[in-house]
Structure 1
């Protein structure tokens, strides 16, 4: 059994831990899109903030209602659903008779759209708020990276197209090329309700098959720690 553990370790690609470190170290890659929030399309029941340099109560959270509008002053309601925050800001400026540069609109809570995380992601499988057309790399950094044992060569995005009734799309994401070669071709920009899958390495999937007395040695050799022991990858 010990020989099996050592053999599995020798046969694993050494790039996994290095890629995981590069994923979280690369905080400002060229592929990061600027002003992602400006391209987010607001829907009910998102929660907005409207800064009007004092013309309105700027400390009030303004929900997008079922009527597609946000409350302003004196009972007025302004259409917001289906617009970006810069478009809403221009509409507020027109409504108040202010120069456009004096009005800023931001999203406080992203409540209307989600992304779905599956597989070996930090924090476990779960839905998370969609916050605009960020890339896969942006997303993985936002959620804190991947779990120990993640196969960074096995990352996929599934776009189901349920709403428009067209065929699903499957995108293969080459994180090694993105992080180490600055090749952004597969760094997919995400859309609402995309599903992101992070695969599991063979050595991680085989660890539960080892007897308890051998698992600590296996973890030291592979750099993988079981969730509940330590949720970090060891050194290369």
Structure 2
């Protein structure tokens, strides 16, 4: 019974710490804030999950390579480029050079071609204005052939786009060459776009690439796409899309509590495990740590819960193998509790007003150590 009560105290205190972490609590000079740890609705704000083989297995089952989605496959099969204002058309009428290249052979098709005007039309000899905007190359060819038949016997017409100027996508952020890419007659996917700018930089956050489309944002894992072959992450890009690859400089985890070197650890694109993070922090301080109290606090961006707290019990050292399979996420907080439970509330009261991810982790832990001594 005593052990059960102590464990509830640990989890309740940890839930309060998660609440403080996620709310970004801070005290301005001269301000005052009262913390009522005894009555905080921890059960309603925080989920507690033990780190078990079943939990790890459920995550690993969802990972790995996936084939192209049926939606993307259908989009690629049905893709046809539709002409827009600014495009330059190259039109060939066989056996009629005066219509094919009236500007002479010294200039390129992009220079002497038929530019689609802002109203979506272009002018062509004999027949006048031709509506091009929103039409495919085949539809424009058919209309030219039909209208030219009034002046030329059985006209043979070929139409192509000499310069794609109407539709573009925009790439920004941590890529080798941020630039504008044209939408052409060849469908442009996210993988194609990244390849055309020379891939993402080493300092890019491959796990959270943002596709902004029509005022809505999609988060895409370039890491899962390129590294693990998850083709469900690929997208067919559309005119006006903005693809942003952010920096990974803020991708870190904070390690606090009873470890030898508490602080902030940057994450690379190859994600770190819980065991790795504890090892890089100098390992657990065996003189004061509670082996049943290794916690990972992870904020939730959606839903009614503020955080999920994962607990690893390493009283059996073999449990570290589970920690070696527990993959950390940016902004996770690892907290190793101390044995004297009677001082737990004092520790939480120090954590709540001052914590900030991930910069002040070491400073906060020093305060916690002072409180414990």
What is the TM-score with the length of structure 1 in the denominator?
A: 0.57
* Residue aligning to 1:76: 128
Aligned to 1:140: 194
**2:100 corresponds to which of 37, 53, 57:** 57
- Which residue of 202, 208, 221 corresponds with 1:174? 221
Q: 1:64 to 1:150 in 2, by over 3 A?
A: same
Query: 8 Å contact 1:86–1:104 — kept in the other structure?
Result: no
In our comparison, the structure showing a higher alpha carbon Rg is 2
Residue 47 of structure 1 is matched in structure 2 by: 88
Contact 1:135/1:190 (CA < 8 Å) preserved in 2? Answer: yes
Cα RMSD, aligned residues only: 3.4
Instruction: Supply the distance in 2 between the matched residues of 1:151 and 1:114 (Cα, whole angstroms).
Output: 24
For 2:193 and 2:243, locate their aligned partners in 1 and report how far apart those are by CA, in whole Å: 10
Is the contact made by 2:83 and 2:137 (CA closer than 8 Å) also made in structure 1?
yes
Q: Any unmatched runs of 5+ in structure 1? A: 1-29, 161-167, 206-236
Q: How many residues align?
A: 166
Question: How far apart are residue 54 of structure 1 and its match?
Answer: 3.9
Q: State the alpha-carbon separation in 1 of the partners of residues 202 and 227 from structure 2.
A: 20
CA deviations 1:93-127 (Å, max 9, x no partner) are 22234889x54322222222322222112223x43
Q: Structure 1's 150 and 77: CA in aligned 2 closer, same or farther, altered over 3 A?
A: same
Gaps of 5+ in 2: 1-71, 102-108, 253-373
For 2:227 and 2:157, locate their aligned partners in 1 and report how far apart those are by CA, in whole Å.
Answer: 41
Instruction: Look up the match of 2:232.
Output: 185
Retained in 2: the 8 A contact 1:150–1:201?
yes
Q: Matches of 1:35 and 1:52 in 2, distance apart?
A: 28
Contact 2:87 2:116 (8 Å CA) reproduced: yes
Aligned partner of 1:108 in structure 2 is: 162
| CA distance in structure 1 between the partners assigned to 2:211 and 2:159 by the alignment | 30
Question: 1-side partners of 2:245 and 2:188: how far apart?
Answer: 17
Question: Alpha carbons of 1:147 and 1:179: their partners in 2 closer, same or farther (altered >3 Å)?
Answer: closer
| Residues 106 and 35 of structure 1, relative CA distance in 2, 3 Å threshold | farther
Over 3 Å counting, the alpha-carbon distance change for 1:136 and 1:90 in structure 2 is same
